[in-house]
């Protein structure tokens, strides 16, 4: 059902935790499936230097959270904004159709964290 990459990111998630003095925090949830994701960003000179996540949810939700943190580390804010829901799923070599909504949450949480960053650093 799950690809090897999904299983790897689920069983060995990267960047788990929180950043106490985060420059941006985004949280999203899906009441239908019960998944809740929070992404924390540390930004220096417009570059995402650190990113962490906390996720309550299924294996796909954890895997997509882990993958999105790997995808944005070292990127500019503008580059990170270009990461789409589909890009997260593709980076994991796909998700089962019933779990595609989980990849949407990872990208949405990232975009919320960037929005929060912009609000704090106008």
Delineate the domains of the chain, giving CATH numbers in brackets.
Answer: 4-121 (3.90.1010.10)
pLDDT tens-digit map of 76-122: 999 999 999 889 999 999 998 888 776 678 999 999 999 999 999 88
**Residue tagged active-site, from 19, 33, 36, 81:** 33
Q: Examine the pLDDT at 20 and tell me if it is beyond 80.
A: yes
**Residue tagged active-site, from 28, 89, 102, 105:** 102
b/e per residue 64-94 (b: at least 16 CB within 10 A): bbbbbbebbbebebeebbebebebbbebbee
The whole model's pTM is what?
A: 0.93
Told to judge if 58 belongs to the known catalytic residues of this protein, a careful annotator would answer no
Q: Output the CA angle 6-9-13, nearest 5 degrees.
A: 155
Q: Could you give the CA distance from residue 55 to residue 57 in angstroms, rounded to a whole number? A: 6
% the chain with pLDDT above 70: 98
Length reported for the chain: 122
Mean pLDDT across the chain = 93
């Amino acid at each position: 059902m799950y690809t090897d990459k999904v299983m790897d990111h689920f069983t060995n998630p990267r960047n788990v935790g929180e950043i106490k003095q985060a420059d941006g925090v985004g949280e999203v949830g899906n009441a239908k499936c019960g998944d809740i994701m929070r992404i924390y960003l540390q930004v220096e000179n417009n570059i995402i230097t650190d990113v962490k996540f906390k996720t309550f949810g299924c294996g796909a939700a954890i895997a997509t959270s882990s993958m999105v943190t790997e995808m944005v580390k070292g990127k500019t804010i503008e580059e990170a904004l270009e990461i789409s829901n589909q890009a997260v799923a593709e980076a994991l070599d796909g998700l089962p159709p019933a779990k595609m909504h989980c990849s949407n949450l990872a990208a949405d949480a990232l975009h919320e964290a960037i929005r929060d960053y912009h609000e704090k650093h106008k």
